[in-house]
Amino acid sequence: MMEPLARAFERSVALRPKDEGLFGPRSMVWRVHRDRSFPLAAIRSLMVQALHPLAMAGVAQHSDWKRDPFGRLAATGGYVLTVTYGDTAAAESAAARVRAVHTHVHGTDTVTGLPYRADDPELLLWVHAGMVDSIVHVVQRYGRSLDAADADRYVAEMARFAEIIGVPAAQVPASVAALNGYLDSVELRQVTPAASDAIAIVLDPPGLDDDTRELWHDLGQVAVGTLPAWARSMYGFDEPPPEIMEREPVRQLIGALDFAFESFPGVLEARERIELRMRA
């Protein structure tokens, strides 16, 4: 499960970058993206993003992610890490590859009957907002620390993530309040059969050993509990018991998963490269 993620992480943190990249070691993006709660934020992000039927249709009709869900997750994670920690040329090259793929992803959603294009700025913005909102929410609740001012700064810095794949800068929320306002304003939200199938696999992926499956299931329950009430209601999920959502048990859960991740070759070295650049 985690080996593809580990390889993507190692590749994305260059040994000798040519420059500081789009954000740099002093940015809030670097600080937030090194938080160990990222797997939890990733699960929540996928659950929010899948609630846009046109975004979900593009994935369902043009991807074989069901055959290799962790390969797809590793590719997405590698992109986020490259844009975060890579030098400027690496980040821009990664974004160009994503834009090129998006030009071939288009069709008609069979549920709503509406046409879609993956390079539509409105769909790109929904995916971006789902990711950023999830990261902010999870890191504030279960990460190291992220106060309101730092959260706003992070959201503002992350606008660059949306811009490099084709969202006009003026459309990208630059504060937590603006981000929440945008998510609440999107009316085209529903659970399609494709979304239900996708999230069932996200919460219970194939190929896990028993110990990892138990950790992942527990993490999935926490992700469900962190969803906005409207999203949880759409999926038909019950709110998890309060004790499952308590900070310390969740941090222990995250720590157990992270310990397993760090045991893979190259992960610890890549993290050390990040820490050294931030200290410098």
Residue-number span of the structural domain to which 200 is assigned: 3-279
What end-to-end distance do the CA atoms of the chain give, in Å? 34
Supply the pLDDT for residue 250: 97
> pLDDT tens, 191-226?
999 999 999 999 998 888 888 899 999 999 999 999
CB atoms near residue 134 (< 10 Å): 24
Tokens, residue 275:
């820490």
Supply the pLDDT for residue 147: 96
Integer Cα distance of 32 and 248 in angstroms: 19
Supply the pLDDT for residue 72: 83
Supply the pLDDT for residue 1: 66
Supply the pLDDT for residue 36: 94
Rounded to 10°, the helix 210-226/38-49 angle is 60
Q: What single-letter DSSP state applies at residue 109?
A: -
CB atoms near residue 121 (< 10 Å): 16
Integer Cα distance of 6 and 211 in angstroms: 18
Q: Is 18 helix (H, G, I), strand (E, B) or coil?
A: coil
Supply the pLDDT for residue 208: 83
Supply the pLDDT for residue 212: 86
Integer Cα distance of 220 and 11 in angstroms: 27
Supply the pLDDT for residue 23: 98
Tokens, residue 67:
């055959």
Looking at the 3D structure of the chain, how many domains does it have?
1
Name the helix (H) or strand (E) containing 229. Answer: helix 229-235
- The burial of 276, by beta-carbon neighbours within 10 Å (0-12 exposed, 13-18 middle, 19 or more buried), is given as exposed
> pLDDT tens, 106-131?
999 999 999 999 999 999 999 999 99
Task: Tell me the pLDDT of the chain (280 aa) as tens digits.
Answer: 678 889 999 999 999 999 999 999 999 999 999 999 998 999 999 999 999 999 999 999 998 887 777 788 888 999 999 999 999 999 999 999 999 999 999 999 999 999 999 999 999 999 999 999 999 999 999 998 899 999 999 999 999 999 999 999 999 999 999 999 999 999 999 999 999 999 999 999 888 888 889 999 999 999 999 999 999 999 999 999 999 999 999 999 999 999 999 999 999 999 999 999 999 8
Q: What single-letter DSSP state applies at residue 117?
A: E
Tokens, residue 26:
């002093």
